Amino acid sequence: MQTAALEGGFADLARQSAKGFRACLDAMARPGTIHAVGGALPPAPMSVAAGVAVLVLADATTPLHLAGRHDCGAVRDWITFHTGAPLVRPGEAVFALGDWAALDLAAFALGTPEYPDRSATLIVEMPDLLDRGARLTGPGIRDTAALNLPEVAFFQRNAALFPLGLDFLFTCGDRLAALPRTTRVS
């Protein structure tokens, strides 16, 4: 393990983790809203927002999958040191991190009718995170919201699976947004 893996975690653990966790919860509760986060300085290619999400959502009991360029030594070491999360194959993951093209969406757990909560949440690194693009409706959205999504058809199919399906956190730089499976996309 490189000594760089020991750096970049929260300097003020209690306050920064509380703020980061609150931002993730608010993003899931109000799909399409974009939240600024800070405090983490993960290694490239992870964004600050992805680092914050991993720090507040993963621990030694949270299987995490790294996809594509995020599956590198620096990221693995950083996550292992700061969270202890076991790094696993997609089908075993509770969380996954990567860019859209690298995530094999069909490989992740969608939950079961008896346990729909046993699905994966994907942290998708985006080149941009904008409040325009696909139209979002559903729980947590007053009328409509908008978010630039990597594609629309997949999220329409995902919402049709409810109560099963995947949940998503989108990250770019120091900002994050969420799209739970309950959100309808057009």
pLDDT digits (tens, 9 = 90+) for 21-48: 999 999 999 999 999 999 999 999 999 9
Q: What is the pLDDT, as a whole number, of residue 119?
A: 97
Rounded Cα–Cα distance for residues 44 and 38 (Å): 16
Q: Give the total number of structural domains in the chain.
A: 1
Residue 11, domain CATH: 3.40.50.11310
In which domain, by residue range, is 122 found?
3-185
Q: How far apart are the first and last CA of the chain?
A: 45
Buried b or exposed e, range 7-41, using 16+ CB within 10 angstroms:
ebbbeeeeebbebbbebbeebbebbbbbbebebbe
Task: Please check whether residue 24 is in contact with residue 178, taking contact to mean a CB–CB distance below 8 angstroms.
Answer: yes
Report the share of the chain in percent with pLDDT over 90: 95
Q: Is the pLDDT of residue 3 over 80?
A: no
Both tokens of residue 98? 């990567």
Q: Given a cut of 70, is residue 7 above it in pLDDT? A: yes
